[in-house]
Amino acid sequence: MEVIIQPNVEQAAELTARLIAARLRAKPDLVLGLATGRTMERVYDRLADTQRSGGLDFSRCRTFNLDEYIGIPAEDEHSYRYYMNHHLFSRVNIDLANTHVPDGMATNLRAEAARYERLIREAGGIDLQLLGIGEAGHIGFNEPLSALMSRTREKALTPVTRQQNAGMFGGDPDKVPKRALTMGVGTILEARELLLLATGAAKASILAKAVEGPITGMISASAIQLHPNCKVIIDSEAARKLKERDYYDWIFQNEPEWQQFRALTSGSTSP
């Protein structure tokens, strides 16, 4: 794992977008795993800007989202399908037929979960999986006690998660669905590369546990420690509780793979 600390939230999102853009340029038919949440909005803004300015082509890109609420139709503004169409898909030259979000309205959720796993397999697996982290320590909606080998399935949301996501439901946690369909931790770990983005002081404590604490099903994000190709990009607020900061900074400043991205911290802005 590598942890890259950027001075602020804009630069953390910018670096994340640049990495995604670099992977898509290197492999135009990239299979890209996507995440939702407020943190990702800046990343999708940057990707849309880059595409509009001619610097990126999504026409052959295929996407798989991590999760979807159960019982919310795709056209409802609270669904993750709506979120993705709004924040990214409608703003770039992607073929909507190549975009996948679990169907939270499926009558048979087990069959839908199995179908989703099959689609990922048929696409050849996920090349790059983008991840956020919830305050309950989840990746996707893998709430505490998620098996580290779990696959796409239905999961009940914790009160912490429903409170955290209440902002998108008029501030009322009771309006947040109680259940979601989510890729499992095992599904996520099979992606060839993981890229987790976390920003803000509210994430500092859980982020430190996930990155520097023991691997535990209580904090599904800690499972990223098992992955051989995982990058964590954070801003200085989210980094506040990390112990090995100097080492992480040294990696970013010295390792050759980060060379093309270092200019960012000295003021460059285009992904």
39 binds ligand GLP (CB under 6 A): yes
Q: How near is the Cβ of 139 to ligand GLP at its closest, in Å? A: 6
Task: Name which position in 37, 177, 184, 271 contacts ligand GLP (CB under 6 A).
Answer: 37
Element (H, E) at 64: strand 62-65
Contact between 146 and 184 under an 8 Å Cβ cutoff? The reply is yes
- Which one of the spans 30-38, 101-109, 230-238, 239-247 is the region binding ligand GLP (CB under 6 A)? 30-38
Q: For residues 11 and 52, what is the distance between their CA atoms, to the nearest angstrom?
A: 20
- Which one of the spans 29-37, 48-56, 122-130, 229-237 is the region binding ligand GLP (CB under 6 A)? 29-37
66 binds ligand GLP (CB under 6 A): yes
Q: For residues 230 and 91, what is the distance between their CA atoms, to the nearest angstrom?
A: 28
Instruction: Give me the residue label for tokens 């942890």.
Output: 3
Q: What Rg value do the Cα atoms of the chain yield, rounded?
A: 17
Which is nearest to 187 in space by CA: 246, 241, 141? 141
Contact between 270 and 11 under an 8 Å Cβ cutoff? The reply is no
Contact between 103 and 64 under an 8 Å Cβ cutoff? The reply is no
- CB of 85 or CB of 249, closer to ligand GLP: 85
CA distances from 36 to 125, 183, 206, 255 (A): 20, 13, 18, 30
Q: How near is the Cβ of 37 to ligand GLP at its closest, in Å? A: 3
- Which one of the spans 31-39, 43-51, 94-102, 107-115 is the region binding ligand GLP (CB under 6 A)? 31-39
- Which one of the spans 5-13, 35-43, 92-100, 118-126 is the region binding ligand GLP (CB under 6 A)? 35-43
Q: How near is the Cβ of 67 to ligand GLP at its closest, in Å? A: 5
Task: Name which position in 44, 64, 83, 141 contacts ligand GLP (CB under 6 A).
Answer: 141
Provide the residue count of the chain: 271
184 binds ligand GLP (CB under 6 A): no
- Which one of the spans 108-116, 134-142, 207-215, 250-258 is the region binding ligand GLP (CB under 6 A)? 134-142
What is the CB neighbour count within 10 angstroms for residue 111?
10
Please report which residue ranges of 135-254 form alpha helices under DSSP H: 159-164, 185-189, 204-212, 245-254
Task: Name which position in 33, 102, 104, 134 contacts ligand GLP (CB under 6 A).
Answer: 134
104 binds ligand GLP (CB under 6 A): no
Residues of the shown chain interacting with ligand GLP in the complex, contacts defined by CB under 6 A: 35-39, 66-67, 132-134, 140-141, 161, 165
